[in-house]
């Protein structure tokens, strides 16, 4: 008997009253595939414009800075301002994502932009996000060919470029959007699931010494968002 | 050979802890800010109590079908290219992990915070076999330097003061240079937490990149997608699992949940109960190795699922403990934990959850004192996001200890004699009359006793008042009743 068999035998012995109920497998399959959220807090169930305002207020409360820009072409200028504000060298490690690759970086000739995953020498990364969650001021990011996730954790400064239309109310809304994006004609969302999904809520922190909150433990010390005002989805 | 157990010495451990001034200082933080942050964030979410009920519902449902959920999780994980290793015992888990490390010729392993790896005693085992594990969570790193076990499940080094941390860093980082003055050794350390955090960050940086294998825990296993989930604040867990060539997530079977909606619900109560945050900084779902087109991530992804006696809890009085999400709220709110700290409990899980769980995991004989380490104030059950009836379970363990004759004979006989008297009122009243009469006779003049046989626990700390009349409550009540016309 393998360990797996023995663990399952013990589990099933503990379920002795119900284990033979023929309705169980269907109930479990239904439960896994149920897409109805459990209780979602009222605070997340608000119109999109209010979600944007709540998202901004929540991230700012976590010391995240936000620059709102009217259009994509304004992003490089805001990124350059951020570097200047924090006395940072003008090297950027950028996710090879179409949105970011198509930005007019060349209008800021001082910026040295290169694309790829995070390396130990990278001080500043620029990445897109998949969604922003208003409820808690949380970013949802995931791995893909164009979004290496080491950029979310290795550099000291993480700059996220995203659009207002990507902001949702709740965690469940964000998962629903991801399922919609990943599901294809021949494969379910689960089958196309990315290696990793990262929820990021503010910069890295710790309270492991005497319970004192300190920012910049091992991940980025600062998180900055450039928010493109593209309106409601 | 798992973590060294000292639970059998709880009484001595607790006495020592009560005299430790550093621990007194540290415990004020846990009983103060850590407990009050939970109250504040819970208050800001009107649905908090209803969300707790939803969480209990999810976990209760899962436990009724846990075999099927685990099968589905395994199937999905395997389909994503991950590999699941089922381990019945700590020993099996240690050997499985060692074999995985050896398959990559690993010398250096980074570790994210994982209580299950503490439970199975992984670090000492890897070291014995020539592999260096480096803890990367700041608290775990501090206690690894101090060669101590964790004292709290989410803040493992909260028993250390900033001065003690600074001393440890001075001792273990002799070559550390301050970030803005390269070439100059740091010398005596500042005790500012910010400065100490910066030092740990810079010391551990290279290790993340050099490590051959990254080992993390997992707070949840999602049957829908086959993903493991870690919830952290520092970002160390993510560096640990995304930089090395192999990621091993070590978890236990009760962590499985059905789908992403259930994850959303439980995340809302987890961080609020643990640290008083609305969301921890990093919540990461991991699902298989890097895809062919990915530019980073591990080449291999393994999940080591440990049973270690959990499957035996199903269908017993202990089943509600399988709902635990390891938030630490019970210890943050426990007056006994605040007094003796986590080490006194003498095993991996301290506080009320440990008092209820440890007897099962390390044996009631060894852990028999732990269910007694409670004032039964009920605060732990009140704050537990999963509404685990911790006091009931501790009471059940006390009964077990009595029935199995694990409690010392004198205590057992005493309780049996008291029970006999309590069930026979005439005997109880007679006993009370004799005792009161005797105490009155012996102590009336002095008015108090400074020591008495059998109740040293009371008289060590304060005087025992001597009854000033030789009559019992019942006899006075009867007299009074006759006077005022009240009859019984």
A9-41 pLDDT, tens digit each: 999 999 988 888 999 999 999 999 999 999 999
Distance CA B155, CA B341 (A): 12
Mutate to test the interface with A, among B68, B144, B166, B280 (most CBs of A within 10 A): B68
- With a CB cutoff of 8 Å and minimum separation 6, the contacts of B74 are B84, B226
**CB B339: neighbour CB atoms within 10 A?**
17
CB-based contact B282 A199, cutoff 8 Å: yes
The chain A residue lying nearest B291, using CA atoms, is: A195
pLDDT at B455 over 90: no
Tokens read off for A95: 């996710």
Q: What is the mean pLDDT of chain A?
A: 96
Distance CA B62, CA B222 (A): 11
> Does an H or E element contain A105, and which?
none
B169-215 pLDDT, tens digit each: 999 999 999 877 888 888 888 999 999 999 999 999 999 999 999 99
Tokens read off for A75: 């992003």
Smallest CA–CA distance, residue A162 to chain B, in Å, is: 19
Dihedral of the CA atoms B154, B159, B164, B166 (nearest 10)?
20
- pLDDT > 90 fraction of chain B, expressed in percent and rounded: 79
Residue B267: its chain A contacts at CB < 8 A?
Answer: 171
Residue A161: predicted pLDDT: 98
Task: For chains A and B, count residue pairs whose Cβ atoms are closer than 8 Å.
Answer: 276
The position carrying tokens 């080490």 is B343
Tokens read off for B317: 């009085």
> What is the residue-wise DSSP string for A39-97?
---GGG-S-HHHHHHHHHHHHHHTT-EEEEESSGGGHHHHHHHHHHHTT--SEEEE---
Residue closest to A5 by CA, chosen among B31, B67, B283: B67
Residue B485: predicted pLDDT: 58
Residue closest to B363 by CA, chosen among B15, B5, B1, B3: B5
Confidence bin at B445 (pLDDT 50/70/90): confident
Boundaries of every domain in chain B: 45-169+197-308, 410-484
Residue closest to B329 by CA, chosen among B452, B152, B169, B481: B152
Q: Flag whether residue B15 sits within 8 Å of chain A, measured between CB atoms.
A: no
Alpha carbon of residue B7 to chain centroid: 13
Tokens read off for B40: 């504040």
Query: For residue A8, what are the CA distances in angstroms to B88, B134, B445?
Result: 10, 34, 70
Mean pLDDT value of segment B360-367: 97
Distance CA A89, CA B100 (A): 41
Residue B31: predicted pLDDT: 85
3-state secondary structure of A199: strand
Taken in order of first residue, the domains within chain A and their CATH numbers are 41-228 (3.40.50.10420)
pLDDT at B45 over 50: yes
B45-169+197-308 placed in CATH 3.40.50.10420: yes
Alpha carbon of residue A132 to chain centroid: 7
Residue B92: its chain A contacts at CB < 8 A?
Answer: 3
What count of Cα atoms within 13 Å lies in the side-chain half-sphere of residue A118? 29
Residue B201: its chain A contacts at CB < 8 A?
Answer: 216-218
User: Chain B, 263-302: which have a CB under 8 Å from a chain A CB?
Assistant: 263-265, 267-268, 275, 277-291, 293-297, 301
Instruction: Give helix A3-14 / helix B66-79 axis angle, nearest 10°.
Output: 150
CB-based contact A217 B66, cutoff 8 Å: no
The chain A residue lying nearest B50, using CA atoms, is: A39
Q: What is the mean pLDDT of chain B?
A: 94
CB-based contact A148 B260, cutoff 8 Å: no
Residue B483: predicted pLDDT: 67
Mutate to test the interface with B, among A6, A45, A209, A223 (most CBs of B within 10 A): A209
Q: What angle do CA B265, B247, B83 make, to 5 degrees?
A: 80
The 3-class SS string of chain B reads CCCCCCHHHHHHHHHHHHCCHHHHHHHHHHHHHHHHHHHHHHHCCCCHHHHHHHHHHHHHHHHHCHHHHHHHHHHHHHHCCCEEEEECCHHHHHHHHHHHHHHCCCCEEEECCCHHHHHCCHHHHHHHCCCEEEECCHHHHHHHHHCCCCCCCCCCCCCCCHHHHHHHHHHHCCCCECCCCCCCECCCCCCCHHHHHHHHHHHHHHHHHHCCEEEECCCEEECCCCEEEEEECCCHHHHHHHCCCEEEEEEEHHHEECCHHHHHHHHHHHHHHHCCCCCCCEEEEECCCCCCCCCCCCCEEEEEEECCCCHHHCCCCCHHHHHCCCCCHHHHCCHHHHHHCCHHHCCCCCHHHHHHHHHHHHCHHHHCCHHHCCCCCCHHHHHCCCCCCHHHHHHHHHHHHHHCCCCCHHHHHHHHHHHHHHHCHHHHHHHHHHHHHHHHHHHCCCCEECCCCCCHHHHCCCCEECCCCCCCHHHHHHHHHHHHCCCC
pLDDT at B2 over 60: no
Confidence bin at B243 (pLDDT 50/70/90): very high
User: Chain B, 438-467: which have a CB under 8 Å from a chain A CB?
Assistant: none
Instruction: Give helix B162-172 / helix B138-146 axis angle, nearest 10°.
Output: 70
A142-194 pLDDT, tens digit each: 999 999 999 999 999 999 999 999 999 999 999 999 999 999 999 999 999 99
Q: Flag whether residue B73 sits within 8 Å of chain A, measured between CB atoms.
A: no
CB-based contact A172 B45, cutoff 8 Å: no
Distance CA B204, CA B187 (A): 19
pLDDT at B338 over 90: yes
Q: Flag whether residue B41 sits within 8 Å of chain A, measured between CB atoms.
A: no
Residue B1: predicted pLDDT: 39
ipTM above 0.90, yes or no: yes
Q: Flag whether residue B180 sits within 8 Å of chain A, measured between CB atoms.
A: no
DSSP A2: -
3-state secondary structure of A186: coil
> What is the residue-wise DSSP string for A213-233?
-EE-SSS-SEEEEEEE-----
Distance CA B193, CA B139 (A): 12
3-state secondary structure of A31: helix
Confidence bin at B459 (pLDDT 50/70/90): confident
A118-156 pLDDT, tens digit each: 999 999 999 999 999 999 999 999 999 999 999 999 999
Tokens read off for A133: 């969650």
CB-based contact A38 B261, cutoff 8 Å: yes
Confidence bin at B488 (pLDDT 50/70/90): very low
- With a CB cutoff of 8 Å and minimum separation 6, the contacts of B367 are B7, B8, B346, B347, B358, B359
- pLDDT > 70 fraction of chain B, expressed in percent and rounded: 98
Residue A183: predicted pLDDT: 93
Question: What is the layout of strands, in order, in the sheet containing A196-200?
Answer: A167-168, A131-133, A138-142, A196-200, B282-286, B227-232, B220-222, B256-257
B60-114 pLDDT, tens digit each: 999 999 999 999 999 999 999 999 999 999 999 999 999 999 999 999 999 999 9
Residue B484: predicted pLDDT: 64
pLDDT at B3 over 70: no
CB-based contact B29 A211, cutoff 8 Å: yes
Mean pLDDT value of segment A97-125: 96
CB-based contact A205 B281, cutoff 8 Å: yes
**CB A196: neighbour CB atoms within 10 A?**
27
Residue A34: its chain B contacts at CB < 8 A?
Answer: 258-259, 261
CB-based contact A219 B206, cutoff 8 Å: no
Distance CA B107, CA B131 (A): 5
Residue A144: predicted pLDDT: 97
């Amino acid at each position: 008997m393998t360990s797996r068999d023995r663990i399952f035998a013990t589990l099933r012995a503990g379920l002795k009253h119900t284990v033979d109920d023929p309705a169980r497998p269907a109930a479990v399959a239904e439960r896994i595939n149920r897409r109805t959220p459990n209780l979602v807090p009222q605070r997340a169930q608000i119109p999109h414009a209010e979600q944007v305002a709540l998202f901004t207020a929540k991230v700012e409360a976590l010391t995240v800075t936000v620059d709102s820009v009217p259009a994509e072409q304004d992003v490089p200028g805001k990124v350059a301002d951020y570097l200047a504000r924090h006395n940072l060298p003008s090297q950027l490690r950028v996710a090879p994502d179409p949105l970011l690759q198509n930005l007019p970086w060349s209008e800021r000739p001082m910026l040295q932009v290169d694309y790829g995953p995070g390396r130990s020498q990278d001080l500043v990364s620029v990445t897109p996000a998949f969604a922003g969650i208003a409820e808690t001021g949380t970013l949802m990011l995931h791995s893909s060919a164009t979004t290496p996730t080491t950029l979310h954790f290795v550099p000291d400064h993480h700059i996220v470029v995203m659009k207002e239309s990507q902001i949702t109310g709740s965690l469940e809304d964000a998962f629903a959007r991801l399922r919609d994006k990943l599901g294809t004609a021949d494969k379910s969302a689960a089958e196309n699931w990315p290696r990793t999904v990262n929820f990021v809520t503010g910069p890295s922190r710790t309270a492991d010494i005497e319970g004192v909150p300190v920012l910049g433990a091992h991940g980025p010390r600062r998180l900055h968002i450039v928010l493109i005002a593209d309106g409601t989805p | 050979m798992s973590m060294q157990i000292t639970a059998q010495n709880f009484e001595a451990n607790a006495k020592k802890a009560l005299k430790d001034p550093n621990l007194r200082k540290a415990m004020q933080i846990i009983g103060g800010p850590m407990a009050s942050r939970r109250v504040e964030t819970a208050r800001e979410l009107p649905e908090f109590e209803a969300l707790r009920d939803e969480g209990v519902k999810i976990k209760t449902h899962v436990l009724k079908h846990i075999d099927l959920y685990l099968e589905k999780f395994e199937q999905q994980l395997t389909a994503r290219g991950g590999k699941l290793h089922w381990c019945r015992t700590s020993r099996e888990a240690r050997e499985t992990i060692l074999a995985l490390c050896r398959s990559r010729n690993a010398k250096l392993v980074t570790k994210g915070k994982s209580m299950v790896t503490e439970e199975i005693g992984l670090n000492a085992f890897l070291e014995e076999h020539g592999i260096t594990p480096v803890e990367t969570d700041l608290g775990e790193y501090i206690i690894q330097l101090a060669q101590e076990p964790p004292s709290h499940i989410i803040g493992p080094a909260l028993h250390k003061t900033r001065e003690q941390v600074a001393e440890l860093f001075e001792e273990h980082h002799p070559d550390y240079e301050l970030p803005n003055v390269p070439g100059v050794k740091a010398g005596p350390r500042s005790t500012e937490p910010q400065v100490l955090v910066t030092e740990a960050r810079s010391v551990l940086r290279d290790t993340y990149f050099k490590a051959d294998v990254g080992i993390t825990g997992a707070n949840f296993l999602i049957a829908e997608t086959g993903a493991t989930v870690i919830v952290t604040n520092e970002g160390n867990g993510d560096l640990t699992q995304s930089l090395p060539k192999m990621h091993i997530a070590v978890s236990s079977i009760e962590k499985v949940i059905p789908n992403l909606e259930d994850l959303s619900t439980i995340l809302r109560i987890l961080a609020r109960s643990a640290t008083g945050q609305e969301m921890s900084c990093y919540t990461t779902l991991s699902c298989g190795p890097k895809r062919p087109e990915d530019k980073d991530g591990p080449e291999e992804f393994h999940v080591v699922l440990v049973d270690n006696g959990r499957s035996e809890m199903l269908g017993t009085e202990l089943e509600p403990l399988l709902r635990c999400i390891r938030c630490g709220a019970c210890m943050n709110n426990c007056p006994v934990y605040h007094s003796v700290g986590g080490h006194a409990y003498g095993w991996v899980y301290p506080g009320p959850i440990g008092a209820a769980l440890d007897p099962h995991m390390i044996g009631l004989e060894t852990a028999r004192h732990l269910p007694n380490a409670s004032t039964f104030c009920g605060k732990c059950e009140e704050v537990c996001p999963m509404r685990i009836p911790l006091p009931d379970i501790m009471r059940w363990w006390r009964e077990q200890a009595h029935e199995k004759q694990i409690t010392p004979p004198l205590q057992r006989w005493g309780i049996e004699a008291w029970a006999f008297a309590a069930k026979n009122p005439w005997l109880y009243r007679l006993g009370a009359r004799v005792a009161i009469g005797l105490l009155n006779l012996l102590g009336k003049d002095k008015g108090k006793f400074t020591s008495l046989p059998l109740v040293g626990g009371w008289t060590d700390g304060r005087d025992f008042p001597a009854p000033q009349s030789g009559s019992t409550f019942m006899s006075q009540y009867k007299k009074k009743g006759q006077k005022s016309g009240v009859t019984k």
